[in-house]
Chains A and B, each alone.
Chain A
Amino acid sequence: MAAFTVIDHTELGAAAASWSKTSIPSSYDHLLLKVSARTDTAAHLGNLMLRFNSDTGTNYSQTLLYANTSTPASARSTGLTSIYYGPTVGGASILADTFGAIKIWIPNYANTANFKQASIDGVIENNSTTNAQWNLHVAAGLWSSTAAINAVSLTDLAGGNLVQYSTFTLYGVTGA
């Protein structure tokens, strides 16, 4: 039976440019990160940049199924310095006190034989039916590195801050 261990839980007491967790033990089988966040960027829609081991090289790629209109669509991109499809997050223009919800699964994160995949879903909820004032993401991301993941970070793609009360819970998962 799978067992979950809390590696880190952070609730921001004040706005911050990013969240990160370093020195992640390699003793688990998988990682799960649950995020409830918004940013102070003056926009409805935004994204957080997911990075591993502080790698800012062009070693990431991503693919996405999304909707923020009545027509779902898909996208993909490569040669990126982060994964930002999936961790979608609302900015200052959405309903006050409303935080997005993101789940990030990172299977087999500590292996040193394969590149690392992340399965991500994220939502920007808002009391609006207007196009591009809400957002749904289901995504996959790839970090083209065989290094064991020992650090994870999230940073606003638009350069804003994560607001107070944003929460980040990182779980280590063992067993099956």
Chain B
Amino acid sequence: MAVIEAIATTYLEADAASVTFSSLGSYEHLQIRGGAHTDAAGAGYNAFHIRFNGDTAANYAFHYMRGYNGSNTAATAATGYSYIFCGLEPGPGGLSTAYGTAIIDILDYRNTNKNTTISYSPAIATGAGGSTEVQFGSGLWDSTAAVTSIVLTPQSGNFTRGSEFTLFGLASS
């Protein structure tokens, strides 16, 4: 077995409300790499979020810092959410052919002595004059359950055709 393996890739041939990975294998760490676009009405760009094991209760927290639109910086802290913001995606108000990028690391996802912690680094560059943003952030799922499924969902609307996510597993032996 290779140390790093692509577990699954989802390429959307049609718009979809979410993307789910439900066979995560037995690795030490997971990583998701993807690119997404949304059809959310009016959005120049928008966010997408992650949930684990179908948990939609307020068991998540996240923190991120961002540089955006050329000269702005900020950071955000949030608790009591039902998801973790972890990605960026252009919308109909932005460049139609652009897809945001995201790398999401999920460490030690099977360890039942730990809450699940992730780090993520999404980015979007929509061309001259368009909205741009780069983030680095972290997220917490306040549960020591082993992660057995992952759902990625746009903040509103759908992922549009051409959005693609690959789930990698990183072994430790």
Residues of A that sit less than 8 Å from B by CB? 3-6, 9, 34, 36, 65-72, 95, 97-101, 103, 121-130, 134, 136, 138, 164-165, 167, 169, 171
Contacts and interface: CB of A to CB of B under 8 A. Distances in A.
A103 B72 CA distance: 26
A129 B79 contact: yes
Contacts of B117: 36, 98-101, 123, 125
Contact of A72 (B75, B113, B115, B139): B75
Contacts of B17: none
Given A36-B107, A36-B117, A169-B172, A97 B144 contact: yes
A97 B119 contact: no
A71 B114 contact: no
A171 B66 CA distance: 29
A4 B140 contact: no
B76 interface: yes
B105 A67 contact: no
Q: Interface range on chain B: under 10, 10 to 19, 20 to 34, or 35 or more?
A: 35 or more
B28 interface: yes
Interface of B: 2-4, 28-29, 61-67, 73-80, 105, 107-108, 111, 113-115, 117-119, 121, 136-140, 142, 144, 170-173
B77 A134 contact: yes
Judged by DSSP, the binding face of B is strand
A15 B46 CA distance: 43
A99 B144 CA distance: 11
A167 B113 CA distance: 12
B64 A136 contact: yes
Contacts of A169: 28-29, 170, 172
Q: Which of A9, A98, A124 has the most CB of B within 10 A?
A: A98
A138 B5 CA distance: 26
Contact of B77 (A66, A129, A165): A129
Contacts of A5: 3
Shortest 7 CB-CB contacts between residues of A and residues of B: A123-B138, A67-B75, A67-B65, A9-B172, A4-B3, A129-B77, A125-B140
